[in-house]
Structure 1
Amino acid sequence: MLRAAQISAAALMIAALAAPIAAQTDPMTPDKVDVYDPARPQADYVRKEVMIPMRDGVKLFTVIVMRKGTSHGPILLTRTPYDAGKATSRNRSQKIEEILPVMDADFVNDGYIRVYQDVRGLKGSEGDYVMTRPLRGPLNKTDVDNSTDAYDTIDWLVKNVPETNGKVAITGSSYPGFTSLMALIDPHPALKAAVPQSPMVDGWMGDDWFHNGAFRNFGFGYSLSQTAKKGGGAIPMGNGDEYTTMLNAGSAGDFARAYGLDAFPSVRKLLEHPAYDPYWQEQAVDKLLARRTLTVPTMLVVGQWDQEDSYGAPAVYKALEPQDKKNDMVSLVIGPWRHSGVNYEGRSLGDLQFEGDTGRQFRVGTMKPFLDHYLKDNPPAGYTMPGSLTYATGIDKWETRAKWPGGTPTPLYLGASYSLSWAKPAAAGSDSYVSDPAKPVPYLPRPIHQDQNEAWRTWLVKDQRFVDGRPDVLTYVTPVLDKDVHIAGQPMVDLFAATSGTDSDWVVKLIDVYPEENTANPVMAGYELPIGIDIFRGRYAHGFDKPQALTPGKAENYKFGLPNVNHVFKPGHRIMVQIQSSLFPVYDRNPQTYVPSIFDAKPGDYKPATQSVQYGAAGASAIWLPIVK
């Protein structure tokens, strides 16, 4: 037996040695491979890249992501200029929650199909990129725009994604908020709901490019990063103080020309349209939507301290709410966030701390039930759409209302000795300061580096003590409050002011002043927290489309809104109003000498001016606060 086993083992060894050796890879085989799919067989998701044809033959790069096993899933669509491929492959993971943005997890884990698409002309999509492509009409003689592209995309998805139930919602923040709104114009029948977040709505009135006529310098960098095929990114002006760099450049137009930005069509469009002419009016999305009947339930979202697009969502709500007879078609949400902060952890903003993760509170507690109601085949019963949902800062509490605003306009008057009072001063008076364009008031403590994200994202909650006391900043303050002052709505500026120049800017800040002693939260002791900041360019006192020189020494009545807020000024706090004539370099400098276009102002046009703010009698300057009784 043993002899036989030994013979068999030897035979097997001989056979193995006789077997041919597997072919080895030639040392000179090229090492490049065509593609590697990071979604391995063990992945818990399916990720597909497709090119969806539009009606003019252009194909748009689109990524479809869903958990394995999904069926009858609603589609949640985002149309973006910020790279659909990156948005859907954030980590080389085999888990769906890891490859998608954090805001997507609760949706894909509940059967939603997540779709991201590159807008026409960017990243993987074909066609020409027009930064804010106008609607078909006076400014766009083609047959396509962001509305038709959304329609054609949705049509393809419901016909070619077998895992869907045929119901689609659109969402996204900032630019994708704009594309979400554009999808509501002539919407596809399968579009059942929309959640535009921090949308760019009117780039001149109060969103990205201008605020009430004052130009926002950061728009140059955005144009460079979005439209340069090569060499884009940050403007190459070094690492020094941007305040100094931009001041030395001269006008905003001179700055653009110095860095070659005037070669960009998107920049030239800004420089060529400094006033609110038809170029801007025909692109205002709130006006476009107001001309149509809203057929898609829409939840508009914005951050109370949105440093980029504070105007858009409330403007669209104001335009559409009159159509909402049953209070079930349009809702406004204001959270304690920066721009797009709704999609991130919302426990804090700068030095402010909130009760829990306010971003996820909204996404899970409000946004998802809204979308479930309109997109799920068998949605939970009993859903009611809030007319408005806003976070009351100061008391850290979400509040719902049938309508917005929630408060009654009540004037808080400027008075003698830099006071603020609920009673209109009987005697007239004025306070003055000298505004010098050579020494503009900074919007942040210097040195300023706007490309540092945290500084830019939180500048609207920056403690204003860094400018309080400057000779070119007027500060008015109430006595210490003995009870809550709750505001819910849009504070309105009602300013009577004159200048010795022929043009002027007016910056107004509404501020919550914390007690000087605060043992429980020392960081906030004495803090001057901005509740709302905005600017008005004086040349538009008699019409945004009709710039004209101011008459030196003649008081004008400037009326404009601050951002919409829900805030409670607590007992022991004080209410403050600051007034100044520059906010640099976030806004360009007004030369205070009237010129046809400030973009073309010459060095000699920039002159100091004496600014006079009136109070009492016929010139009763005030901030109208939406007081909740």
Structure 2
Amino acid sequence: MKKKLSLLVVLATTAFPAYAQQASDANNSIQYDMPKNFTVNTDSFDFIRKEVMIPMRDGVKLHTVILIPKTAHNAPILLTRTPYNADHMTSQAESGSMASVLQGYDNMPDVIKEGGYIRVVQDVRGKYGSEGQYIMNKPMRGPLNTSQTDHSTDTWDTIEWLVHNLQQSNGKVGIIGVSYDGYTSITALFHPHPALKVSVPMNPMVDGWMGDDWFHHGAFREEMLSYIYNQDASQKNTFKWWTNSFDNYQLFLNGISAGAIGKAHGMDQIGFFRQILAHPAYDSWWQTQAMDRLFADQKLTVPTMLVHSLWDQEDNYGAISFYYTVQKQAASNPLLWLAVGPWNHGGEIKDGSTLGPVKFHSDTGLYFRKNILAPFLAHYLKDSSIPLPAHVTAFHTGTNEWETAPALPKQDCITNCVTLHLLAHHGLGLDAPKGEAGVVSYVSDPEHPVPYVKQPVITRGAPNSEWDGWLVTDQRAASSRTDVATFTSDVLTKAVSVTGQPQVHLTATTTGTDGDFVVKLIDVYPDEVPDQREMGGYQLMVSADILRGRYRESFEHPKPITPNVPQVYQMALPLTNHTFLPGHRIMIQIQSSWFPLYDRNPQTYVDNIFTAPPEAYKPTTIGIDVAGSWLTLHQGK
């Protein structure tokens, strides 16, 4: 009996593959399911996936994922350098198709797979699989970075490795990416590798203080605290932002200041958060990191297409500012392109038929990828006989048409302008008032700030959050408040077409010694829209931004406001390209809080708002001098 049993054990054991034997326990009484190293059978896949650690010049190795079409021969390379997990961005497959793998963030299967590109995604230093230390928007080599490496050198070293180790490539590389990955696409333009033939920064982070992720004209974007927490607390985003409040409005109101809220979450352990607290003004720490300012001393040598979204809720400053910086280097730069579409942040890589309730009557994202991006990449990376798109291609909202131009209009409008004049009794006109004067007043109370979306305000990234589309949310909730000054035109009898960056000239008084000014340009729909009834009376924000009053004269050197003395507040709003149609009205809203998108201004001058005590937050009365207030734009086609 014992001999028979021994034979059965031997037969049972030999019936299993070798890996099962290795995965069993010592006495072979249990066979485990999971092998030590599982190998995916990729025979039917149409691509090869490689993971490599590419060495940088200082010895640090960066984790890099390479997807090579099995049919690749003499193929160009499309590179993205990211802090958002290269593995995750290249592991979305539900099949063995490369197009299926490329369904993740920052990928465009219809461009990359159909274009036959070798796809390369790399974790930047200190994130996910890469060695080294992570620094948010690591400064370029210079006063803030005395090491021998930055994002430009890491890109150079990566390209050098790729062109010498990928036999299937033609030795031409393009770099592309959205947001932070757009920022690394810009850093690649500093002392670029000879094999870098094209760069496509999409919705790039360019200047975090002037108008991208962290501040806008000095007002801190409080809703970005969760991003900083998730991104900077650990290498693999292990720690996630937490809150005991369902409504962020209540969370930030109870927390008093952004500094206090961050510290309550333990963020004083994070280097970037400590730097933000230490540099509330636009000092040299911010200025020497701003990509547009840095590139003013450079020369564009790589064909570059900047991509901008008209309703970018995160980085609506960077692409346009960088565009104008390069344009100043030459009247018509032959290496610079710009694509502008009716998207939110990164919306150009998705279906662009709608944004919130707004319909564009075509897939604008697909149009961009097929007719603008794909031929641009192919011309420089594959075949120079492929025609290039126009240097500026922009979607015109309102009429919902694509337009082309050799360049954007100049930032300041001198001739052929449209000026919207504030009028007494909350009116708005296209003609300057004749002797009409008046003051429109409201009370701004920090205890009851104006929400940027209806409450509850749900944390960005959480289920049911309005973050991705908040810029197109209906503004009627704001216009009905007594602490929002509203100026509205008569019903238009003919179209008013505008383009460029609206220039705000606001004259106002306050009873406080500091204060914020939010200015919003709005398209008011007719009371009835037959083909989309839910849009009846809709107030669509076309362009808007905020200015912290202490910076009205200098962004670097804040100054208290003299109470009850008229002051001039000037700023440029984000780019617009829009037609107010007949039957619509034009509206301008002015308010002094936009919460909790931006931290509350105490309205009492303190040295650092991040550490403002509760007693500093006081109500003030704001007076808008209508005769001294207007908004100027270029007249559109």
Which residue is equivalent to 1:183?
A: 188
Per the alignment, in what secondary structure is the counterpart of residue 181 of structure 1?
helix
Which residue is equivalent to 2:24?
A: none
CA separation in 1, counterparts of 2:124 and 2:184? 9
Q: 1:561 aligns with which of 565, 572, 577?
A: 572
Q: Does 1:223 align with 2:231?
A: no
CA separation in 2, counterparts of 1:30 and 1:440? 60
- One-letter amino acid of the counterpart of residue 42, structure 1: S
CA separation in 1, counterparts of 2:40 and 2:377? 30
Which residue is equivalent to 2:133?
A: 128
- 1:30 Cα deviation after fit: 5.2
CA separation in 1, counterparts of 2:143 and 2:457? 41
Counterpart mapping for 1:391-410 below 5 A: 391-405=395-409, 408-410=416-418
CA separation in 2, counterparts of 1:251 and 1:526? 36
Q: 1:433 aligns with which of 436, 442, 459?
A: 442
Counterpart mapping for 1:178-577 below 5 A: 178-229=183-234, 232-325=238-331, 327-376=333-382, 378-381=383-386, 383-405=387-409, 408-425=416-433, 426-451=435-460, 452=462, 454-577=465-588
Q: Does 1:57 align with 2:65?
A: no
* Structure 1 pair 20–82 and aligned structure 2 pair: CA distance change class (3 A): closer
* Structure 2: 5+ residue stretches without partners: 1-9, 17-27
The answer as to whether partners of 2:46 and 2:97 remain within 8 angstroms in 1 is yes
CA separation in 2, counterparts of 1:20 and 1:356? 65
- One-letter amino acid of the counterpart of residue 348, structure 1: T
- One-letter amino acid of the counterpart of residue 118, structure 2: I
Q: 1:168 aligns with which of 153, 165, 173?
A: 173
* Structure 1 pair 375–470 and aligned structure 2 pair: CA distance change class (3 A): same
The answer as to whether partners of 2:68 and 2:118 remain within 8 angstroms in 1 is yes
- 1:231 Cα deviation after fit: 7.9
CA separation in 2, counterparts of 1:91 and 1:238? 36
CA separation in 2, counterparts of 1:352 and 1:564? 18
Per the alignment, in what secondary structure is the counterpart of residue 158 of structure 2?
helix
Q: 1:589 aligns with which of 581, 589, 600?
A: 600
CA separation in 2, counterparts of 1:605 and 1:21? 79
Greater mean deviation of Cα atoms: 321-330 or 255-264: 321-330
Q: 1:603 aligns with which of 604, 609, 614?
A: 614
CA separation in 2, counterparts of 1:432 and 1:326? 45
- 1:261 Cα deviation after fit: 1.5
- 1:385 Cα deviation after fit: 4.1
C-alpha distance after superposition, 1:38-96 (max 9, x if no partner): 46211111111111000000000011112212011010100011111111111242011
Which residue is equivalent to 2:42?
A: 40
- 1:232 Cα deviation after fit: 4.5
- One-letter amino acid of the counterpart of residue 450, structure 2: V
The answer as to whether partners of 1:195 and 1:300 remain within 8 angstroms in 2 is yes
CA separation in 1, counterparts of 2:226 and 2:540? 28
C-alpha distance after superposition, 1:349-374 (max 9, x if no partner): 11111122111110111001001111
Greater mean deviation of Cα atoms: 494-503 or 85-94: 85-94
- 1:528 Cα deviation after fit: 0.3
Q: Does 1:67 align with 2:72?
A: no
- Please, what is the CA RMSD of the aligned residues? 1.8
Which residue is equivalent to 1:6?
A: none
Q: Does 1:84 align with 2:90?
A: no
- 1:228 Cα deviation after fit: 2.1
* Structure 1: 5+ residue stretches without partners: 1-18
C-alpha distance after superposition, 1:212-244 (max 9, x if no partner): 000001221111111223884542212421111
- One-letter amino acid of the counterpart of residue 423, structure 2: G
The answer as to whether partners of 1:506 and 1:580 remain within 8 angstroms in 2 is yes
The answer as to whether partners of 2:501 and 2:575 remain within 8 angstroms in 1 is yes
- 1:501 Cα deviation after fit: 0.2
Which residue is equivalent to 1:104?
A: 109
CA separation in 2, counterparts of 1:509 and 1:174? 24
The answer as to whether partners of 2:577 and 2:636 remain within 8 angstroms in 1 is no
The answer as to whether partners of 2:52 and 2:65 remain within 8 angstroms in 1 is yes
- One-letter amino acid of the counterpart of residue 410, structure 1: V
- One-letter amino acid of the counterpart of residue 23, structure 1: T
Using structure 2 for the length normalisation, give the TM-score: 0.92
* Structure 1 pair 39–478 and aligned structure 2 pair: CA distance change class (3 A): farther
CA separation in 1, counterparts of 2:489 and 2:409? 24
- Structure with higher Rg: it is 1
The answer as to whether partners of 1:432 and 1:611 remain within 8 angstroms in 2 is yes
The answer as to whether partners of 2:425 and 2:440 remain within 8 angstroms in 1 is no
